[in-house]
Homo-oligomer: A and B are copies of this chain.
Amino acid sequence: MRRIISLTTDFGQENGFVGVMKGVIWGIAPEAQIADISHEIPPQNIRLGAYALWRVVPFFPPGSVHVAVIDPGVGTHRRPIGLKIGQNYFIVPDNGLITPMLEDGEHDDLPIEIVHLNNPEYWLTDVSHTFHGRDIFAPTGAHLAHGVPLEELGEPITDPIRIPFSKPEKTDRGWLAHLTIIDVFGNLTTDLPAAAISEAKNVNFNLKGHVIPGIVKSYGHCNPGELIALVDSENYIEISVVNGNAAEKTGAQIGDPVEVVIND
């Protein structure tokens, strides 16, 4: 059973671009359950699209088909690709969007198959030059969910495009981390896995002139308005304000450095 399809795009919710993909999907796989991950990825921001998808994939049932379309290269020679990484399926433009899922799969030694989605039998009959989400990605994702094997959808490839994602750097005093995601609450996620400092007894986080002492358990464990560090729901270090908005309080932006000082 591979009947759940997730959708991640930068299409917004105004213009019907997502709705039409669902019409296409249900025309092919009427039994599919479709979950919207996000359609508010900032336009053409491949990295933020990749992060949004990467955080949700582990919580979907095995066999789910994740269709993600952040696609500035639509209509050029940019390839559409399909992947099976472990038990998860992905339908994406070949522009680096898949990088974190692919790196995780390689890190975990999962079996990985990749195809160039170049079998037009599984596309819509007429393919536009500007909307492959509707014309290629939605129908191939639907056929995959409906039971067509991945290898039917196109020819095997081994060279998907990868783009660099920020990684924390080891320093003399601890780590140099970076902000990767700012969520709707203004919480600031970093690229530092909590595991990297789980042994440290005394740690400070320095962000834009603010010094945040230690890690607390959750938002409700400090006073409203206080700037805190905690372990986020994907086990990365996050900077937050209790009952408030850390992005507003600090003026921090994605990519900003967070100095992690271990004082043990």
A41 to B19, CA, bound (A): 14
Question: Within A67-84, which residues are at the interface with B (CB < 8 Å)?
Answer: 72-76, 78
B52, B61, B232: which contacts A23 (Cβ < 8 A)? B61
25 contacts between A and B (CB under 8 A): A4-B26, A4-B30, A8-B16, A10-B184, A10-B185, A12-B184, A14-B52, A15-B55, A15-B181, A16-B52, A19-B35, A19-B38, A23-B61, A24-B59, A26-B35, A26-B60, A43-B185, A44-B243, A74-B220, A75-B218, A75-B220, A128-B232, A129-B218, A130-B232, A134-B233
Asked if A206 is an interface residue, CB under 8 A from chain B, the answer is no
B30, B39, B129, B218: which contacts A13 (Cβ < 8 A)? B39
Nearest-neighbour CB distance to chain B for A60, whole angstroms, equals 4
A124 to B72, CA, bound (A): 37
A154 to B56, CA, bound (A): 27
Known contacts A23-B64, A26-B35, A64-B23; decide if A43 and B219 are in contact (CB<8 Å): no
> How many monomers of this chain does the complex have?
3
Interface centre among A33, A130, A231, A243 (most CB of B within 10 A): A130
* 6 other A-B residue contacts (CB within 8 Å) besides A10-B184, A16-B37: A4-B23, A12-B183, A23-B35, A43-B184, A72-B243, A128-B231
Asked if A6 is an interface residue, CB under 8 A from chain B, the answer is yes
Known contacts A3-B30, A74-B218; decide if A233 and B23 are in contact (CB<8 Å): no
Asked if A40 is an interface residue, CB under 8 A from chain B, the answer is yes
B1, B22, B72, B235: which contacts A219 (Cβ < 8 A)? B72
Chain A contact residues, majority secondary structure: loop
Interface band, chain A: 35 or more
Q: Which residue of B lies closest to A217 (CB)?
A: B129
On whether the beta carbons of B19 and A74 are closer than 8 Å, the reply is: no
Nearest-neighbour CB distance to chain B for A68, whole angstroms, equals 11
B27, B37, B221: which contacts A19 (Cβ < 8 A)? B37
